[in-house]
Amino acid sequence: MKGYRLLRVESKPEVLIEVKPEQQPDTCLCCGASRLHSKGRYERRVRHLDLCGRPTQLLVQCRRYQCCQCHRSFVQPLPGIRPGRHSSEPLRQYVYQLHHDGICTATLALRRDMGAATVGRIYAQFTERKAKERLSLECPSILGIDEHSLHRRQRFATTFCDLKNHRVFDITPGKREADLQGFLGGLRGRDKVRVVCIDLSSSYRALIRRWFPRAMIVADRFHVVRVVMRHLLGLARQVYPQLAWKLSWLNLLRTRGDRLDLEHRLRLAAVFRQQPALEPIYQLKERLCALLCRRSQTKAQCQALVAELLSFIQTLTTSGFELAKTLAQTLSDWREEIARMWRFTRNNGITEGFHRKMKLIQRRAYGFRNFNNYRLRVIAQCG
């Protein structure tokens, strides 16, 4: 390690390396005075990384000092060795990385000749160190907000994802504003957030308008398309009730037209010959989804797309079906957020991917009773 001068090396059943710090303290650690008195030698023995596959220990020769002004004694700080630790920081970092890569505590403890509780404690200390960094970090400028489910006692947690750097910024229990206001009140740099991507949740939209006043809300494309698909396929079931038992027909109606091969297109044409009322609904679904899937549009192009979206809303409103009217009302309420969706390329697909990884973390641990332990794991593996 840097900051030490090598004195001697002994090769026993384990390697013993005797070192001495290169620099001595000049001032008192308590009061800053420059007059120090040496109280004698002091030895520290800590475990270090293996040398050529053999266990290694560091024998550090240091001194204990006493301040002539405040009369307090102290041991000089050692680089790479924290006070009260019996292992060096490089070894602790190595153990943390092995456990982070998926090696269980029992196997790792057996390999490193240490207790399983020690492995868990090292991992917790490093993850807590990462979590404390979140307190000094400012909120990312492009933010994705979504909820995911937990165990029975704590049903939901809200994820704040940094969409620009593809990492989880933080998670907090609950999804209502009453549950989140304590966390949001302590966020730094909320006024610097420019874009927030959410699903079609009115509660999240109201929360963002209050706590992120300068942020533009962008609707998540996947959730918008899913709402359209759910309402229009429900409308198809109303027109032809037997469709609920014909899963092959439903799969054809769900699939985008450009993803159908020749055989499936012929089957879809046969479906329309048997039930002609399904064809207008399918064509409406295709044109509306193609409109919603546009991305990276200019300002002038977005203005033309907005006019096209309003035309679809008018068509759905005057159709006479309740599901179509409900869909038209939803699209009308979120028309500004949908228009921004065409302008910006970011979406909550990154957040949903991290939710999948969080589910794997929960399954590997067979659930978490303590939310803080779960938060530390998520920050360590997704942050």
Q: Could you tell me the pLDDT band of residue 136, with boundaries at 50, 70 and 90?
A: low
- Looking at residue 78, the DSSP 8-state letter turns out to be B
Q: What is the pLDDT of residues 309-359, one digit of tens each?
A: 999 999 999 988 899 999 999 999 999 999 999 988 878 889 999 999 988
Whether residue 119 is contained in a domain is answered as no
Q: What is the pLDDT of residues 141-175, one digit of tens each?
A: 999 999 988 876 668 899 999 999 898 998 998 88
Whether residue 1 is contained in a domain is answered as yes
Q: Which helix (H) or strand (E) holds 221?
A: helix 221-239
- Whether pTM > 0.85 for this model: the answer is no
Based on C-alpha coordinates, what's the Rg of the chain?
31
* Whether residue 165 is found in the same domain as residue 238: no
Whether residue 261 is contained in a domain is answered as yes
Q: Which residues pair with 104 in a beta bridge?
A: none
* Whether residue 277 is found in the same domain as residue 378: no
Whether residue 202 is contained in a domain is answered as yes
DSSP string for residues in 135-180: HHSPPPSEEEEEEEE--SSS-EEEEEEETTTTEEEEEEE-SSHHHH
Whether residue 121 is contained in a domain is answered as no
* Whether residue 378 is found in the same domain as residue 296: no
CA distance 215 to 194: 4
> Does residue 135 register a pLDDT over 70?
no
* Whether residue 153 is found in the same domain as residue 212: yes
* Whether residue 324 is found in the same domain as residue 229: yes
Q: Could you tell me the pLDDT band of residue 258, with boundaries at 50, 70 and 90?
A: confident
Whether residue 268 is contained in a domain is answered as yes
Q: Which residues, 6+ apart, have CB-to-CB distance to 354 below 8 Å?
A: 159, 161, 168, 382
Last residue of a domain, one of 327, 343, 359: 343
* Whether residue 324 is found in the same domain as residue 245: yes
Structural domain of 271: 222-343
> Considering the chain, what is the average pLDDT of its residues?
87
CA distance 242 to 22: 84
**Per-residue pLDDT, 197:** 94
Rounded to the nearest 5 percent, the helix, strand and coil shares of the chain are 50, 20, 30
Residue with tokens 């012929």: 266
Looking at the structure of the chain, the number of domains it has is 3
Last residue of a domain, one of 61, 86, 111: 86
Q: What is the pLDDT of residues 190-230, one digit of tens each?
A: 888 999 999 999 999 999 999 998 999 999 999 999 999 99
Q: Give the distance, in angstroms, between the CA of residue 304 and the centroid of all CA atoms in the same chain.
A: 36
Whether residue 137 is contained in a domain is answered as no
Q: Beta strands 54-67 and 15-21: pairing type? A: parallel
DSSP string for residues in 288-309: HHHHHT--S--HHHHHHHHHHH
* Whether residue 229 is found in the same domain as residue 331: yes
Question: Would you say how long the chain is, in residues?
Answer: 383
Q: What is the pLDDT of residues 77-110, one digit of tens each?
A: 888 888 888 888 888 888 888 887 878 888 888 8
* Whether residue 280 is found in the same domain as residue 187: no
Whether residue 115 is contained in a domain is answered as no
